[in-house]
Chains A and B, each alone.
Chain A
Amino acid sequence: MLRKIRICLQIITMTLVTLLLLGIGFQVHLWAGWVAKIQFFPAILALSFGVLALLIAATFIFGRIYCSVVCPLGIMQDIFSWIGGKVKKSRFYYAKEKLWLRMVCLVVFIIAMIIGFAPVTTLIEPYSAYSRIVNSLFKPLYDMLNNWLAGMDAANDRYNFTEVQIWMRSVTTFVVAIATLVILGALALWKGRLYCNTICPVGTLLSFCSRYPLLRVRFDKDKCKSCGMCEKNCKAQAIDFKEGKVDYARCVVCGDCLAKCKFDALHYTAKKPATQPKPVDTERRAFLAATAIAGTTAAMAQTQMKVDGGLAVIEDKVAPKRKTPITPPGSVSARHLQRHCTACQLCVSSCPNNVLRPSTDLQHFMQPTMSYERGYCRPECTRCSEVCPTGAIKPITREEKTMQHVGHAVWIKENCVASEKGISCGNCARHCPTGAITMVDYEGPNGTVQVPAVDENKCIGCGACENLCPARPFSAIYVEGNEMHHIN
């Protein structure tokens, strides 16, 4: 029973988290966004004391159910572990808790968090590890499906799916995601919840609360025939059947042991049971076809247009070197983003304008940064601020967005088609949503032309000018980030 409930909850959580991360449309962030916001580490970063209190209280009562049914990385490991069980049955054995290793990992994690060393925190934090896998590996596959459906829609004059660009936002993040999947998958196939019970800082933190939970798995020594099936099937390696003991610091309350016990010697209760319920049905059940993992490099940047003979070839834009990276509206400042972001990539995969991508800079490792080669931060969009579970990008309204100056535009004379080639343009000024660009007369090699002049006080750094500038591959006007967003 416990196992069945656990599996049902796992399916719900996993489906919601994955759909949310895939960005399937249908306003998914409105009805599934909560599942990211109840994740433990994002809740710490968001200072959601209510959520934290709830999770801790639940752990005191039920044990580490969080690790079983809320954490998507835990669920993913369960899937691998289940596959491992198909290959080799009853393969686990009891091992002592390596508390020193858990403590070292936790301390390193906390120090990295305090000094703001993103590579450590983002690499081992479980929620962002999973979301990166979805974002880097599954999202391109989903997008291909989406584009296929969009093609069918277009052929049949329907309007449910829109074609999206599939492109590699960051090679580093892609490699990290593959490595995470391979390492964790192998560990789980071999040793079940090893990661959760040694490295994972959330697991370690929660284990402090779950050492004496109200409800726990208890042995009925009268009924136990010491067959050892419980121990051999405990993926947390937390059951010592000889001693008749369970290490609650590592038990994730999966219920496998209860299901495996043929003698009804294990119960999940508040106190020792007096009577016995009817025997647990142990039929085999298939519940989740594990998604086949494509090991191929998926997300190659796709060419967006078919080039016909009658059309000029359009060169791709190349990102300029920005002295200060641009951070999304709502993230307050580079420092705020860096301190609160767990690099889960939810904002990256949600960005409908292809602006956000993971940073490769070590200090902001895999945290979002903005660039405008494929689109710009459109005035009507506040999607990243709506989805962010950690408060790294605070929720903002459209009106607030127009007052947050995330950067300022800079004109580069050498690239400008007006000043250098004498072609009348002004596309930057025409598309500036805040009217920050004025075209002024300029004496160039081709006579008097109009060139852009930027009023930095009005510029919000949205990148419309940079994106729509005809100069390629480098735009003649680009945005420099503001270290801290100016508000006015």
Chain B
Amino acid sequence: MDRREFLKHIGGAAVATSVVLSACKSEGDETPIAKNVIDGQGEMTYRTNPNTGDKVSLLGYGMMRLPIEEGGTLRDHPDSPIDQELVNQEIDYALDHGMNYFDTSPAYCKGMSERATGIALARHPRNSYYIATKLSNFSPSTWDTESSKAMFENSLKELQTDYIDYLLLHSIGGSTNELDSHGLFNARFIDNGILDWLVEQKAAGRIRNLGFSYHGDIAIFDMLLQWHDEGKYHWDFVQIELNYLDWNYADEMNARNTDARYLYEELHKRGIPAVIMEPLLGGRLASLPDHIVKQLQEREPETPVARWAFRFAGTPEGILTVLSGMTYMEHLEQNVATYSPLRPISAEEDAFLMKIAEEIIELPTVPCTACNYCMPCPFGLNIPVIFDYYNKCVTEGKVPAGNHEAKAYQEARKRFLIGLDRTVPSLRQANHCIGCGQCKEHCPQNIDIPTELHRIDDFVEQLKQQG
């Protein structure tokens, strides 16, 4: 028996033993014995779009956090150009490994995403992938009919194509200081007749699937589905935020948000396929506090923490594709492996993740996904970086706690304050937030940004005064 064969035998025996042992285990709440799992040994999982019969890869590529030439994303260097070479490589890898859904928007990457996506995709046959892009609603200057049409035509040009596979009304459900959610929706998509025009384009074959992406006021979501039921408009797909935290706890995190379970079930019972965004909640479900990571790793030591979230998001059968905004090749490889093929979350694992979610919502983190929509703050604050620093300290257990006199506390306090000054220049820190609220309407997560900043400011001030 050579060495390799021997190892195989031992491995097999270990798996057999663990199967036997887990079978023997009672329903007690002991930690299950760790399982040896290697993902990515098979083919990509596909889901079928009931409207067009499209076979869509379960992993979709979000083109929102593209790599830039200076390294990282635009959040790190806002003036850097996109690293087109790396984007090309990544898209080649994605297509080679069975991915075929690419989601962009005229607004992503300071408006550079569509062009970069178009350049990379045009190097491949048009029938080997699906393009999703959006009629974005970021600036009121794009709301009139002509500008809206021009936005769509420009998307075609940038993406070097004459049809869009999946077109979305971008981010419905928001509101501004002037307009409530109905007012904003009407002003953006109805009053200018653009929704009807899009329906015409679909009939003309320039759009294959028409849908919307949703954040915010549930009344708009319900209204659009009611239109669907009444036959007023037909939605071929809907893009929603779904992950194991938002599934049951979206409203616990923020009363203005709605649980993903409700959104999904409303779509599923109508047979509308769901496209999933924020499966990792802006990366938060990939960087969890040690005690939670430990629980995940005790089950599957070789499974990356983020994979649990991707498996969860891909499990419900009504989900067409799960979008991930992948900057680095390593993330792409890891996510491709996750869905090649999908190992669905079992009922027992589902219960386990719900327990994990309960623990996560207990953390005082800010549910910011670092999308940067709130920026720039007119008073110079660097909002996403402040939240990111605070969240990191919370999840990494670096927030000073316990006996104030203890040496460990004083050391943690010093590190927290010095680290904050290193991460955010003092003039851009939370104590300069005057609470004008201009950022609030831009936040797709509906975070009450000024309140959260003031909470962090109070905490920092209290730390400083212990000096």
Residues of A within 8 A of B (CB): 154, 159, 162-163, 304-306, 308-314, 378-381, 417, 423-427, 430-431, 468, 470
Check A312–B379 contact: CB distance below 8 A: yes
Shortest beta-carbon contacts, A-B, top 9? A309-B78, A305-B425, A314-B380, A425-B434, A310-B78, A427-B434, A312-B380, A309-B79, A308-B78
Taken residue by residue from 149 to 179, chain B's Cβ proximity to chain A (1 for < 8 Å, 0 otherwise) reads as 0000000000000000000000000000000
Check B79–A423 contact: CB distance below 8 A: no
A311 to B380 Cα, complex, angstroms: 6
Query: A159 is contacted by which of B380, B418, B433, B435 (Cβ under 8 Å)?
Result: B418
For B465, the chain A residues whose CB sits under 8 A away are 378-380
A308 to B380 Cα, complex, angstroms: 11
Interface-located stretch among B88-96, B260-268, B370-378? B370-378
For B79, the chain A residues whose CB sits under 8 A away are 308-309
Check B380–A304 contact: CB distance below 8 A: no
Shortest CB–CB separation between residue B382 and chain A, in angstroms? 6
With contacts A305-B428, A311-B428, A380-B467 taken as known, whether A163 is within 8 angstroms of B421 at the C-beta atoms is yes
25 inter-chain pairs at a CB distance below 8 angstroms, sorted by A residue, are: A159-B415, A163-B421, A304-B425, A304-B426, A305-B425, A308-B79, A309-B79, A310-B78, A311-B428, A314-B380, A314-B428, A378-B465, A380-B465, A417-B434, A417-B436, A424-B437, A425-B435, A425-B436, A427-B431, A427-B434, A430-B435, A430-B454, A468-B431, A470-B432, A470-B434
A381 to B465 Cα, complex, angstroms: 8
Check A310–B375 contact: CB distance below 8 A: yes
Please provide the chain B residues from 372 to 392 with a CB less than 8 Å away from any CB of chain A in the complex.
Answer: 372, 375-380, 382
B77 located at the interface, meaning its Cβ lies under 8 Å from any Cβ of chain A in the complex: yes
A159 to B414 Cα, complex, angstroms: 8
A306 to B423 Cα, complex, angstroms: 11
Please give 10 more A-B residue pairs, beta carbons under 8 A apart, in addition to A378-B464, A417-B434: A163-B421, A163-B422, A304-B425, A305-B428, A308-B79, A309-B78, A310-B375, A380-B464, A425-B436, A426-B435
A162 to B436 Cα, complex, angstroms: 32
A85 to B383 Cα, complex, angstroms: 61
Check A312–B436 contact: CB distance below 8 A: no
Shortest CB–CB separation between residue A357 and chain B, in angstroms? 18
Interface size for B (C-beta < 8 A) is 36
With contacts A304-B427, A380-B467 taken as known, whether A427 is within 8 angstroms of B421 at the C-beta atoms is no
Check B435–A424 contact: CB distance below 8 A: yes
A426 to B434 Cα, complex, angstroms: 6
For B380, the chain A residues whose CB sits under 8 A away are 311-314
For A417, the chain B residues whose CB sits under 8 A away are 434, 436
B466 located at the interface, meaning its Cβ lies under 8 Å from any Cβ of chain A in the complex: yes
Shortest CB–CB separation between residue B433 and chain A, in angstroms? 8
Q: Whose C-beta in chain A lies nearest to the C-beta of B79?
A: A309
Query: A311 is contacted by which of B375, B421, B435 (Cβ under 8 Å)?
Result: B375
Please provide the chain B residues from 414 to 451 with a CB less than 8 Å away from any CB of chain A in the complex.
Answer: 414-415, 418-419, 421-422, 425-428, 431-437
For A311, the chain B residues whose CB sits under 8 A away are 78, 375-377, 380, 382, 428
Q: Whose C-beta in chain A lies nearest to the C-beta of B450?
A: A424
Check B436–A305 contact: CB distance below 8 A: no
Query: A312 is contacted by which of B377, B418, B431, B433 (Cβ under 8 Å)?
Result: B377
A309 to B111 Cα, complex, angstroms: 14
Tell me which of B422, B433, B464 has the highest count of chain A C-beta atoms within 10 A of its own C-beta: B422
Shortest CB–CB separation between residue B326 and chain A, in angstroms? 21
Q: Whose C-beta in chain A lies nearest to the C-beta of B411?
A: A159
Check A470–B428 contact: CB distance below 8 A: no
Check B434–A306 contact: CB distance below 8 A: no
Shortest CB–CB separation between residue B436 and chain A, in angstroms? 5
Check A154–B431 contact: CB distance below 8 A: no
Q: Whose C-beta in chain B lies nearest to the C-beta of A423?
A: B436
Taken residue by residue from 337 to 349, chain B's Cβ proximity to chain A (1 for < 8 Å, 0 otherwise) reads as 0000000000000
Shortest CB–CB separation between residue A400 and chain B, in angstroms? 16
Check A312–B464 contact: CB distance below 8 A: no
For A305, the chain B residues whose CB sits under 8 A away are 425, 427-428
Q: Whose C-beta in chain B lies nearest to the C-beta of A464?
A: B431
Shortest CB–CB separation between residue B233 and chain A, in angstroms? 36
